[in-house]
């Protein structure tokens, strides 16, 4: 089994984009499609809706692409967008544009916890806030959202990494602000922290 560091994974993505060749957006679409295919809909027949909780980086872009794909056949999809930073990544912004252009999926923008909508207990929650780039413990709005989600009884599936978990070394991390995922659909290969 190969285990790569977060930096090696970034280099692998860069190599793939340059040598396949494929655009970063197309690579995100491919990853999101594979991640969507691994969602545990068949395991839990009682899911009545899916809630994608997205950050504004590429992990959030993956979540938006998954929500867009699901909305083609399932109207019970919502997105909760955590406004933890002013600007989003380029591929995130493109996916948000496509999602809003289609107009099928409601997007709730959360700037503070008062904005956070109620999540029905029958919903599957997809955590697409942060991925492998995190290297410091969460604080502020993201920490509040993670702590709130961890109090819910919903099944949570994380995209690539549970939000709040560092890819490589968590010895300095505050594990109270890490998503307690039921399942993590990771890309490429396992990250050290998942083992």
Q: What is the pLDDT of residues 55-73, one digit of tens each?
A: 999 999 999 999 999 999 8
Eight-state DSSP code of residue 162: -
DSSP lists the bridge partners of residue 109 as 81
- Tell me the longest C-alpha to C-alpha distance in the chain: 46
Q: Which of 67, 184, 75 is nearest to 132 (CA)?
A: 184
Question: Could you tell me the sign of the dihedral formed by the alpha carbons of 43, 49, 53, 59, in that order?
Answer: positive
Res 78 pLDDT > 80 = yes
Percent share of the chain, pLDDT over 90 = 80
Residue entry with tokens 């912004």: 93
Q: With contact defined as beta carbons under 8 Å apart, do 1 and 190 qualify? A: yes
Give the pLDDT of residue 89: 95
Is the pLDDT at 187 greater than 90? The verdict is no
């Amino acid at each position: 089994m190969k285990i790569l560091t977060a930096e090696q994974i970034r280099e692998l993505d860069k190599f793939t984009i340059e040598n396949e060749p494929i655009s970063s957006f197309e690579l995100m679409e491919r990853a999101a499609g594979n991640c969507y295919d691994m969602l545990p809909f068949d395991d839990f027949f009682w899911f009545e809706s899916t809630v994608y909780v997205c950050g504004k980086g590429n992990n959030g872009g993956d979540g938006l692409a998954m929500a867009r794909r699901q909305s083609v056949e399932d109207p019970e999809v919502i997105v909760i967008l955590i406004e933890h930073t002013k600007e989003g990544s380029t591929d995130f912004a493109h996916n948000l544009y496509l999602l809003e252009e289609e107009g099928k999926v409601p997007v709730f923008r959360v700037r503070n916890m008062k904005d956070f909508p109620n999540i029905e207990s029958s919903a599957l929650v997809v955590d697409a806030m942060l991925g492998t780039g995190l290297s410091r413990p969460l604080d502020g709005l993201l920490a509040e959202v993670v702590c709130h989600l961890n109090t819910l009884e919903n099944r949570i599936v994380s995209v690539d990494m549970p939000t709040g978990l560092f890819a490589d070394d968590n010895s300095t991390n505050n594990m109270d602000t890490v998503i307690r995922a039921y399942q993590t659909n990771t890309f490429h290969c396992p990250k050290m922290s998942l083992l």
